[in-house]
Amino acid sequence: MICSTDYVLGIAGYINPDDQTDEQRDQDYQPDSARKALRLMIGIVPSVLIFLTALAVFLYPIDRKRHEEILLAIKQRKEAEEETDEGRERTDEADDDHSPLDVSDLNSKN
């Protein structure tokens, strides 16, 4: 976030106090574009983000029933993954019981 703030202020023409002349520093000088950018970042942008967050909360309400449904779906998904993993382990163990074919055996059959 800080990086984007620096980027926006740089584009807006913000002058770092270390780079200002003594006269500019005494007057707290900043270009109008930098002042507008600061106002936008402090006021408008957070307001828009809060509005979008409130909209998302309104459009995707989660009550107790919906929360329980989500938890149940997660539990079922985990159980299904565990069953799949156990099946893979059994298949891997069964494959380990068989000895690999020798390549020379394959060539001799042809």
What was the pLDDT predicted at 2? 61
Collapsed DSSP state (helix, strand, coil) of residue 3: helix
The Cα 71–Cα 79 span in angstroms is: 12
Confidence of residue 68 (pLDDT cuts 50, 70, 90): very high
Confidence of residue 102 (pLDDT cuts 50, 70, 90): low
Residues 39-72: b if buried by 16+ CB within 10 A, e if exposed: eebeeeeeeeeeeeeeeeeeeeeeeeeeeeeeee
The Cα 40–Cα 93 span in angstroms is: 63
Does pLDDT of 12 surpass 90? no
Does pLDDT of 94 surpass 60? no
Tokens 């001799």 locate to 108
Does pLDDT of 81 surpass 70? yes
Cβ count within 10 A of residue 86: 10
Domain boundaries of the chain, sorted by first residue: 1-61, 62-96
